[in-house]
Amino acid sequence: MPAFLEPAPDSLVGLRNAGGSHGRTWFPLLMLAWSVWIFLTPLFSAPAFRDWLWPTLASYAAFLVLYRHAYYRSRAHLLACALGIAALGFALTPFNPGAQGYLVYACAFLAFVARPKGAVLWMVGVLGAYALVWLWLGFPLIYLFSVLMVGLAVGLMNISIQRRTQADIALRLSHDEVRRLAGVAERERIGRDLHDLLGHTLSLVALKADLAGRLVERDPAAARREIDEVARVSRDALAQVRHAVTGIRAAELVAELASAHLLLESDEIVLHYTPPALPLPSTLETALALTVREAVTNVQRHARARQVWIALECTREHVLLRVRDDGRGGDIVPGNGLHGMGERLRALGGELRIDARPGAGTELQARLPWPRAGIAAAEPTPT
């Protein structure tokens, strides 16, 4: 990327990238296409404006500098850049009525200089002053009406985009907080379980060890029975601790389901799901959590669904994740997300199936075999 297009962190482009719109660094260059009207308008007005070219070229050079600073440099200078672009429009209008295009760009930037009400006041003030200049010059009112309407429309649209971007950032932060709180809650639950389990077990072990120590000389057989009992209790406690600790691994999937609920709820999509009833091996749990994330993201972006169902079925042979929606269905063009999802499942010996019929929604099935250790640890009930 050219150095002059490298955005500052607090610039309009930098904040847009931070909000998740990566790859939009070149977007401002595309928006320059509308400036062609600054040069075309006087061509249609000839011969009324004979000496328009050199003033227009000089103003356009200054405009490009201000435009770059407005998009790629700190927002602390955004108001000055927007007013500077508006000033170019004021100065050029007597030579070229197409300079009203500068006012549209100025309104586009004024949308970001303050809160919505303040931004609207700035736009109204600048456009009102320009209207007075236009009337003083005696130019046709129809063209004045067009720049007022277009300038306000573009400014209000950018205000709406800014509010949506802020909402998206807040939503992403909420997702992260949901995952964090789910992890904290799970760790607290495991801590309480381990405290209750080990507190009782270790007290019993200490008691029987003391008893065996007192019996070792008087009644060696009884002492041996107590020692065997200590060993049995210790093995049982170890098994219970391992079973409790495996519950930590389900936290990621639980957090992902909670995050999916929040994401879909923001688009008024109802999610039906139940958390996993069994602890899952970490490799399976991570793969399923990532599958849920990608599937729900696709539903939110493309499916136009009103309801989504997520179900997890466990047998002694496999784990099956189903994600179904009531959206538009139809042909699905696999992107990087679906390709990555399929490769991740196949690496674990699983498979991915997608059934999408037009108007009947889409169902995604992710099937993974149980690892041998996972079958022994989880002991799922056959269905």
pLDDT in tens, 181-234: 766 776 777 677 777 767 777 777 788 788 778 877 788 888 788 888 878 878
Distance, in Å, from the CA atom of 46 to the CA atom of 102, rounded to the nearest integer, reads: 20
Structure tokens at 323: 């994600």
pLDDT of residue 243: 66
Contact (CB, 8 A) for 323 and 264: no
Contact (CB, 8 A) for 245 and 191: no
Structure tokens at 237: 């406690």
pLDDT of residue 186: 65
User: How would you classify residue 379: left for phi > 0, otherwise alpha for psi between -120 and 50, otherwise beta?
Assistant: left
- CA distance readout (Å), 185 to 174, 246, 281: 16, 15, 20
Could you tell me which residues come within 8 angstroms of residue 60 by beta carbon, excluding any fewer than 6 positions away?
35, 38
pLDDT of residue 270: 85
- Residue 94: phi, psi to the nearest 5? -60, -25
Residues of the chain with pLDDT under 70: 1-10, 14-25, 45-49, 169, 172-173, 175-176, 179, 182-183, 186, 190, 197, 242-251, 331-336, 372-383
- DSSP assigned state of 300: I
Distance, in Å, from the CA atom of 314 to the CA atom of 277, rounded to the nearest integer, reads: 9
Q: Which residues of 291-328 are buried (b: 16+ CB within 10 A; e: fewer)?
A: bbbbbbebbbebbebeebebebebeeebbbbbbbbbbb
Maximum CA extent, the chain: 124
Question: Which of 51, 62, 124 has the alpha carbon at shortest distance from 87?
Answer: 62
Place of tokens 């802020």: 166
pLDDT of residue 376: 43
- DSSP letter string, 197-242: HHHHHHHHHHHHHHHHHHHHHH-HHHHHHHHHHHHHHHHHHHHHHH
Contact (CB, 8 A) for 51 and 95: yes
pLDDT of residue 205: 79
pLDDT of residue 122: 94
- CA distance readout (Å), 148 to 37, 59, 74, 104, 165: 16, 21, 28, 8, 26
Structure tokens at 318: 């496999």
pLDDT of residue 34: 87
- CA distance readout (Å), 264 to 175, 307, 310: 11, 9, 12
Contact (CB, 8 A) for 56 and 39: yes
311-356 pLDDT, tens digit each: 998 888 889 999 999 888 876 666 667 788 888 889 889 999 988 8
pLDDT of residue 22: 45
Contact (CB, 8 A) for 158 and 108: yes
Distance, in Å, from the CA atom of 93 to the CA atom of 134, rounded to the nearest integer, reads: 8
